[in-house]
Amino acid sequence: MSDSVAGPSTPSRKRSKWQLSDDDELQQLTINPAKRRVKTKHGKEPAVTVPAPPKNIPVARNSLHSVYVPPRTRHPPIIPSRSVYCYERLNQIEEGSYGVVFRAKDKQTGDIVALKKLKLDEEKNGFPITALREVNALMTCRHQNVVGIREVVVGDTLTQVFVVMDFIEHDLKSLLTLMPSPFLQSEIKTLMLQLLSAVKHCHANWILHRDLKTSNLLMNNRGTIMVADFGLARRYGDPVGVGGMTQLVVTLWYRAPEILLGAEKYSTAVDMWSVGCIFAELLLKEPLFQAKNDLELISMIFKLLGPPTNNSWPEYSSLPLAKTITLPSPQPHQFRQKFQYMTTAGIDLLMSMLAYDPAQRISAEEALEHPYFTESPLPKHPDLFGSFPSAAAGEKKRKVFDSPSAPARAADFKLLTEFDMI
Amino acid sequence: MSPTFYPLASLSQIEKTPSRADGIPDDLEEDLRANGCKLIHEAGILLKQKQVAVATAQILFQRFWYVSSMKTFGIGDVGMGALYLASKLEECPLRIRDLINVYDLLSQRAAHSIGPKSSAEFKYAPMSYFGNTFYDIKDAIVVHEMQLLKRLGFNVQVVLPYGTLINYLRLLGLMSREDASTRAWGYLNDALQTPVYALYQIPTIVCAAIYLTTRHLQIILPSEPPHCWWELFDADWEDLWSVCGYIMRLYQERSEHERLRVVGMISKKGVRSWLEEHPSEL
């Protein structure tokens, strides 16, 4: 007679699955599952039955977990949000359209963190989808070069929600402004490798950042950069969602030409265009395209890259706004003139990132393998980067004293020394 | 692409859920969970919502009851909050007005089925234009969406099993058998009414669905040690067997009394009334 397959209402208490390590699990090789029978309230057998399971089924595997099925213990438990009062507020870092960012200290561990307060006050449709995308994207894209989300904490009311992130001392925009001289080639390579690694990871997890720019790249005093502000991030692929993808993405100076020309569908290539603009900014110590509006930006792009052709961008003519723009006469690109001290490999990488056609634009994965990163000078180790005072942490820039001038005449110097010796 | 570490209930949460701590027996909690998921499913169909969003809502709903009690939150409110939240997570946001109307319809239908005129044909009475029902339901949905987020620690990552099922069936050479893939897919859908997605990893649940399919259709796969097919997918026999138990329990015949008892507990008021009538269960 066949037994009904109806296990207990809680998973079996087999310790290996919940508490033991993989090694302990390997020692338990076989088990005889007891026959289980579930009675209904009326003492009847369940209506649907399946044959009894085979005997002596091994519980543990003779090999460790595959990378695709990590041990259950790696999964986080279901834990409610903690109170924001677990943190002590130190100072306000910045305020934007999305909300306020505070520097705070975890009362339990003493860790310094950044608390980003989400704007939820006048929400008629519940929790904003944009805030949800941001939190979800940060939780999905855990990586050493993506700012770490620690948790989301709540205040006294349902509208007080704070994202707790690692506190990072600087943002790249401020650093570029304050630095007396630009980053070295070896340093730029290190920064670019880290940025590309983060972007590759986001794209591998089906996340588009859609707002990559130097002010959204944070850098600590150990030469590590982290991608931050996933406020415009969203999943790409399927489903695209109701109403398609918005064109109001990416800060103007870093916006890809396909978005400028009204493309209804775009993908990972928009982030790669932004990466190209950041690369150029690191080299020039100022933004590549400092345009005031869309039209000016398009003309600046056309000037640097030369106008698009059927070869460089086959889909150009089919874009919604292409008909509204008069193309200038064909001319060669101006990369060599703009970046005089770049190697051929460096120019090639930059041009690959700033390719007109999204399909021809280099991916983050391909860019990481580019010869530019293996030619001399090699990338500098992050630990060898210099450190800077952090404005966000309230550190003051050390006052620069005028160095004393050299003595005007040797005779005066002699007088001084003689005087000192009296 | 690295594996997604979606949240799963801890051993202490499984051994004593908040509802059980409040005196709701195991079988009743399981039936209420299943009923809440059916409610989400029905609402999803009426709203022509995508299957992924409905499935995500059901999984979030199941997770919620490992950190909250049915005495504190109504399954109807949480169910609709979960559906609203999942629609945003899956990039197919619902209009709150539509969700309110559907929730009102389902609530009226449930009330009718346990009312004195349950034998009569159900007729939907639309909300009064000047009444507070619309705003009360709207507030309930928005508040419960926020409660779901807050009590799940904003970790609302969900991995659905369908892609994994296709891969496993292909590897086992069962893709050519339409009856096998349809049945296994059906088991995965039915499993959404159970807590398994909050307890076990996706490969285990998929293997359980395939296991039940092969037993019912009498498909022979290697099941003798040391060559058990589920080990190919890192599934654990004990857990696979337990998942099968959860799924099969759904198909048990319920008496009319048991069915109506659950329908009457869509709100927390219904649960509290039941607890007052059954103090011995505490």
Parse chain A into domains and list their residue ranges.
Answer: 84-166, 170-384
pLDDT at residue A65, rounded to an integer: 59
Q: Can you spell out the DSSP letters for B153-209? A: TT------SHHHHHHHHHHTT-TT-HHHHHHHHHHHHHHTTSGGGGTS-HHHHHHHH
Q: Is residue A87 over pLDDT 90?
A: yes
For B141, which residue in chain A has the nearest alpha carbon? Answer: A126
Q: Which residue on chain A is closest to B144 by alpha carbon?
A: A126
Residue B53 shares a structural domain with residue B128: yes
**CATH number of the domain that B96 lies in?**
1.10.472.10
Residue A50 has pLDDT above 90, yes or no: no
CATH topology of domain A84-166: Phosphorylase Kinase; domain 1 (3.30.200)
Which amino acid belongs to residue A138?
Answer: L
Determine how β-strand A112-118 pairs with β-strand A99-106. antiparallel
* Banded model confidence at residue A19, pLDDT cuts 50, 70, 90: very low
Count of Cβ atoms closer than 10 Å to residue A222 Cβ: 12
User: Treating both helix axes as pointing N-terminal to C-terminal, what angle do B75-89 and B51-64 enclose, rounded to 10 degrees?
Assistant: 130
Gap between the Cα atoms of A229 and A146, Å rounded: 10
Least confident of A119-133, A145-159, A175-189, B51-65: A119-133
Enclosing H/E stretch for A351: helix A344-353
Contacts of B238 in chain A (CB under 8 A): 11-12, 14, 17, 31, 33, 59
Judged by average pLDDT, the poorest of A64-68, A138-142, A300-304 is: A64-68
Closest CA of chain A from B108, distance in Å: 24
Can you give the pLDDT at residue B257?
Answer: 76
- Which DSSP string do the residues of A131-173 spell out, in sequence order? HHHHHHHHHH---TTBPPEEEEEE-SSTT-EEEEEE--SEEHH
| Record: contact B8-A62, CB cut-off 8 A | no
- A51-55, A237-241, B235-239 — which is least confidently predicted? A51-55
Q: A106, A166, A211, A294: which one is catalytic?
A: A211
Q: Is residue B12 part of a domain?
A: no
pLDDT, greater one: A257 or A13: A257
Please report whether residue B134 resides in a domain: yes
Give the per-residue pLDDT at B203: 94
More confident residue, B10 or A389: B10
User: With an 8 Å Cβ cutoff, are A47 and B252 in contact?
Assistant: yes
> Which of B2, B32, B54, B220 to mutate against chain A (most A CBs within 10 Å)?
B2
Best of B17, B54, B88 to disrupt the A interface (most A CBs within 10 Å) is: B88
Q: Which amino acid is at A197?
A: S
**Both B57 and B139 in a single domain?**
yes
Considering only residues 170 to 189 of chain B, which have any Cβ-Cβ distance to chain A shorter than 8 Å? none
pLDDT at A397 over 70: no
Q: Could you say which architecture CATH assigns to the domain A170-384?
A: Orthogonal Bundle (1.10)
Confidence of residue A403 (pLDDT cuts 50, 70, 90): very low
pLDDT bin (cut points 50, 70, 90) of residue A122 is low
Q: Which chain B residues are closer than 8 Å to A76 by Cβ?
A: 5, 7-8, 155
Q: Which residue has the higher pLDDT, A275 or A306?
A: A275
Task: Provide the pLDDT for residue A237.
Answer: 73
Q: Which CATH number fits the domain that encloses residue B243? A: 1.10.472
- The yes-or-no verdict on residue A72 having pLDDT over 90 is no
A97 pLDDT band, cuts 50/70/90, is low
Token representation of residue A114? 């950044």
* B61 and B143 inside one domain: yes
- Scanning A117-146 for CB atoms below 8 A from B yields 123, 125-127, 129, 132, 135-136, 139-140
Strand segments (E) across A155-256: 161-166, 170-171, 207-208, 217-219, 225-227, 234-235
Whether B49 maps to a domain, the answer reads: yes
What mean pLDDT value characterizes chain A?
75
B interface mutation test: which of A13, A28, A75, A242 has the most B CBs within 10 A? A75
Contact of A297 with A260, CB cutoff 8 Å: yes
Q: How far is A69 from chain B (nearest CA, A)?
A: 6
Query: Kind and range of the H or E element at A189?
Result: helix A185-204
> Is any Cβ of chain B less than 8 angstroms from the Cβ of A55?
no
B272 within some domain = yes
**B104 and B89 in a common domain:** yes
Q: Maximum CA pair distance of chain A?
A: 117
pLDDT at A112 over 50: yes
pLDDT-derived band of residue A390, with 50, 70 and 90 as boundaries? low
* Calpha distance B274→B70 (Å, rounded): 11
Q: What's the pLDDT score for residue A32?
A: 37
Do B181 and B138 lie in one domain? The reply is no
At A246 the pLDDT is 59
* B220 and B265 inside one domain: no
Q: Determine contact: A152 vs chain B, CB below 8 A.
A: yes
- Does pLDDT of A44 surpass 60? no
A29 CA: distance to closest CA in chain B (Å) = 10
Same domain, B92 and B179: no
Q: What is the pLDDT of residues A273-299, one digit of tens each?
A: 999 999 999 988 889 888 888 888 888
Report if residue B60 sits inside a domain.
yes
- Residue A4 pLDDT exceeds 60: no
Which of B242, B257, B260, B261 is most worth mutating to test chain A (most A CB atoms within 10 A of its CB)? Answer: B242
pLDDT at position B103 is 92
Are residues A78 and B153, on separate chains, in Cβ contact within 8 Å? yes
Number of domains in chain B: 2
User: What distance in Å separates residue B119's CA from the closest CA in chain A?
Assistant: 26
Looking at the partner chain, which of A57, A78, A136 has a beta carbon nearest the beta carbon of B13? Answer: A78
- Phi and psi dihedrals of A167, rounded to 5? -85, 125
CB A308 within 8 A of CB A330: no
To the nearest 10°, the Cα dihedral for A235, A241, A243, A244?
Answer: 50
Give me the pLDDT at residue B178, please.
Answer: 81
Residue A217: helix, strand or coil by DSSP? strand
**Same-domain status, B153 and B101:** yes
Cβ neighbours around A176 below 10 Å, total: 18
B2 domain residue, yes or no = no
B198 in the same domain as B167: yes
The verdict on residue B126 lying in a domain is yes
Examine residue B119 and state whether it is found in any structural domain, yes or no.
yes
Residue whose entry in the numeric block shows the structure tokens 């949800």:
A132
Whether residues B128 and B176 fall in one domain: no
Ranges of H-type helices in A239-342: 257-260, 269-284, 294-305, 335-338
Which domain, by its residues, includes B127? 20-157+254-277
From the list A8, A74, A152, which residue is nearest B154 (CB)?
A152
pLDDT at A108 over 80: yes
10-residue averages of pLDDT along chain B (282 residues): 80 87 89 92 92 94 95 93 95 89 89 74 78 87 92 91 92 88 93 94 95 89 85 87 91 78 85 81 50
Confidence (pLDDT) at A234:
76
The answer for B 130-169 residues in CB contact with A (under 8 A) is 141-143, 145-147, 149-157
Which residues in chain A have Cβ-Cβ distances shorter than 8 Å to B246? 7, 9
Q: What is the pLDDT of residue B79?
A: 97
- pLDDT tens, residue by residue, A334-382: 787 788 778 889 989 998 999 988 898 999 999 998 999 998 899 988 8
A156 is catalytic: no
Q: Tell me which of A200 and A389 has the higher pLDDT.
A: A200
Sign of CA dihedral A6, A9, A11, A14: negative
DSSP code string of chain B: -PPP------HHHHHS-HHHHTT--HHHHHHHHHHHHHHHHHHHHHTT--HHHHHHHHHHHHHHTTTS-TTTS-HHHHHHHHHHHHHHHTT-PPPHHHHHHHHHHHHHHHHHHHSTTTTSPP---PPPTTSSHHHHHHHHHHHHHHHHHHHTTT------SHHHHHHHHHHTT-TT-HHHHHHHHHHHHHHTTSGGGGTS-HHHHHHHHHHHHHHHTT----EETTEEGGGGGT--HHHHHHHHHHHHHTTS---HHHHHHHHTTSSHHHHHHHHHH-GGG-
Comparison of pLDDT for A227 and A385, the residue scoring more: A227
For residue A390, report the phi and psi dihedrals to the nearest 5 degrees: -95, 115
CA distance B9 to chain A (A): 5
User: For residues B77 and B140, is the Cβ–Cβ distance under 8 A?
Assistant: yes
At residue A26, the pLDDT reads 36
A34 touches chain B (CB under 8 A): no
Same domain, B142 and B207: no
pLDDT at B149: 95
State whether residue B128 sits within 8 Å of chain A by CB.
no
- Name chain B contacts of A66, Cβ cutoff 8 Å: 234
B249 to A56: CB separation less than 8 angstroms, yes or no = no
Residue A244: per-residue pLDDT: 61
A187: amino acid identity, one letter: E
Residue B124 touches chain A, beta carbons under 8 Å: no
Do residue B42 and residue B144 come from a single domain? yes
